[in-house]
Chains A and B, each alone.
Chain A
Amino acid sequence: MKTPIQFILNGEEVAAFVESGSNLLDTLRESVGDLSVKGGCWQGTCGTCTVLIDGVPRVSCVTLAETCAGKSIETTAGLRRGPDLHPLQTAFMERFAAQCGYCTPGMLMAAKALLDRNPNPTRADVIDAICGNICRCTGYEPIIEAVLDAAHGDARRQA
């Protein structure tokens, strides 16, 4: 049975008919066409599918899509403004914070949730922010450095 759903995705209104009981990950990828969100475990435990819902990080694979009606959802596809990358994206590139890249969209959203709320995070804050996101490639250090770079930018380079 299909059920209608409407929400805001990266600033744009979207609408779809989804199979009742669909999770948000499938809705975004299959019904709305946002392939920047990735699925890793479909159990809510790896964080790969992390998106922001009203500014708050959520694991989309165990989020019932229908609970998102009217909400504002952000994914990696919406991070850049036209040609301009988000500071997190630039920092990830400069710090080699991605290898296979599969955890990267989820990591970016988890990091954005942190920086939107706390523009001055400590290293411990960053670690907590990404502690729900599994990376099998980088060993996490480059990611932590990238998030700190994005937050503190020039201050860090001068240090």
Chain B
Amino acid sequence: MLEFRKDIFADERDDNLIEVGQPTARQDILGHVTGTSPYYDDHRFGNLLHLKILRSPHAHARIRSIDDSAAARAPGVKRIIRAADVPVNLNTLLSLIQFGKDDEPSLASDVVRYKGEPILGIVATSERAALEAMALVRISYDQLPAVLDVEEALKAGAPSVNATYPKNTFEYYGKYDHQKLRYGDVEAAFKQADIVLEDRYQMSPIEHAPTETNGSIAVPDTNGRFIVYTSTQALFFSLDTSAKINAMQSNQLHFIGGTVGGGFGGKVDTLTEPLSILAARLTGAPVRYRFGRHEEMQFGSPRGAERIYVKDGIMKDGRIIARQVRCYFDSGAYTRLSSYAVVKCTAHIPGPYTIPNVHADVYCVFTNRTPATAMRGFGVTAVDFAMECHVDKGAVAVGMDPLEFRMLNIYRDGDMKAHRRQAKNTALIECAQVTAEKANWPLRDEFRRMSSREGGSPERGGVVDRTRAPALASAPKLAPTDTGAARTRAPSVAPSPVVPQRIAYERPTAAEPARAAPPQQPAPRPIPTPSAAPPASTPAVSTHGAARFSSVFGTRRR
């Protein structure tokens, strides 16, 4: 049962909600309950061939030799696909937006870097024939020392996992081995704090385990074009990645997706399409590359494991005055999307709390494990888990109710965030109050009277060190800003009163009389002009049209 608390922030909006709050059937649910929703594998071709991949049994090894001659002659086998057959056999997913260097082969040739890494493709008339042929392949390996722990991977002398990033960390903007967030002076604050709480949090990789495994069917169409039925969540992304790896023009590919049998982030890595397309090109026949369940669990990318250190400085009255976070993302052997996850994580720290001193270092680390990918709340879920567990511990340490402890520290309108933007349109206090009401959780009067719109200011929280410019020692020179994207600059003195945004939906239908015009609203606050001082952390600006992809390049939406 959905309940609208329209009493809260009633003066800030018009409630002409038409769709929100109304149950609306999925447009494809009739297909789902009749078994007619088309998943990628619900297409039949008379001469369909099957691609199965031979994978590394070792976490780290040099391939000494491959003898696939017996496999090539095995019954039903049409083609063996080797590393040398792949037109562009080094890629990174975000090269499409010029973020990161190509580091991952589609088929390994000299070194395998994780258990399950693809080495050879076998295309045959049945899956059974392909698997039986696979058993005839002889590969000899020289095993290499493997590193399976993020902090071990960063130690001097650790085995180098990824040839493109030999120090086992992703490189940001060509020179940084991690992402930084600096605000205030945590060390000074820790000295002033009444309580300093430190802990380490760890999660394992988490497998999406969709009921439908990853897969695709590539079908020769006409005139050098291929139709690709795929389970991907990211149709255009997968199309462009496949075009790059196959050295094809994008217009030679027609990707048909739509119904994904469970994605959750695990069907963005484009793991099957490049090779199913290559197999179709090499054989002239439709080819399906479908993960078995074991492959989905072992080779299908998981949510990457993270290790997170959180250190809080807390005053006896309950204010969190400092938070230091060190976070290591286990990207596995290749980058895929973890470079971006780290940026999101850094942007999320220290959580929705007004903490005047924040220090974060977030690393994208390579290990000899299955490359990781996105999963719900990508980049943020685990660090939230760590920080919220830590906040609970802080409440215990201070002797405060955990909900009240949060309400004391949570953002309010006008507070300054560690990313030097002023909080606005906050509502967490009201969420906490309603939650407490629903859960019959007692709150003291003072907390029941709190409001997101009262008491916020850049100085709230106490210790704010203004003498230190929160600049990076080696920040690159600022290039001219991207055109058209005017940026708000957080004022460094008491802010003007926050004017609530107004949203009005006025869409009278033909049958409906026009609604009364909404009450007069004050003119929106003019956007402040950018100040002369450069913002604290700005990367070199990309010339790619996708520069507005804000979190990656550091530009901010207005």
Contacts and interface: CB of A to CB of B under 8 A. Distances in A.
Interface string A50-75: 00000000000000000000000001
A3 B386 CA distance: 58
B211 A103 contact: yes
B491 interface: no
Nearest to B43: A35
Contact of B262 (A37, A79, A102): A102
Contact of B210 (A77, A89, A92, A100): A100
A35 B211 CA distance: 16
Contacts of A96: 23, 25-26, 29
A2 B261 CA distance: 32
B180 interface: no
Interface residues of A, number: 37
Contacts of A27: none
Given A43-B293, A93-B25, A101 B210 contact: no
A85 interface: yes
Contacts of B264: 136
A99 B26 contact: yes
B31 A101 contact: yes
Interface stretch (B33-41, B400-408, B439-447, B462-470): B33-41
A38 B39 contact: yes
Nearest to B128: A19
A98 B262 contact: no
Nearest to B290: A39
B232 interface: no
Contacts, number: 92
A136 B32 CA distance: 15
A33 B36 CA distance: 12
Given A80-B34, A100-B262, A42 B212 contact: no
Most A CB within 10 A of own CB, among B33, B42, B210: B33
A105 B32 CA distance: 8
A137 B259 CA distance: 14
Given A93-B25, A136-B262, A105 B210 contact: no
A48 B211 contact: yes
Interface residues of B, number: 31
Given A40-B293, A41-B293, A76 B35 contact: yes
B293 A101 contact: no
A45 to B, nearest CB: 8
A134 interface: yes
Most A CB within 10 A of own CB, among B34, B36, B259: B34
Nearest to A106: B211
27 contacts: A33-B44, A38-B39, A40-B211, A40-B213, A75-B35, A76-B34, A80-B34, A93-B29, A96-B26, A98-B26, A99-B26, A100-B211, A100-B260, A100-B262, A100-B263, A101-B29, A101-B31, A102-B210, A104-B33, A105-B35, A108-B33, A134-B211, A135-B211, A136-B208, A136-B209, A136-B262, A137-B262
Interface of B: 23, 25-26, 28-37, 39, 42, 44, 126, 208-213, 259-264, 292-293
Closest 5 CB pairs of A and B: A36-B35, A101-B32, A102-B261, A76-B35, A41-B293
Given A93-B33, A136-B264, 15 more contacts: A33-B44, A36-B36, A40-B293, A42-B293, A75-B35, A76-B34, A77-B34, A96-B29, A98-B29, A98-B33, A99-B26, A101-B259, A102-B212, A102-B262, A104-B33
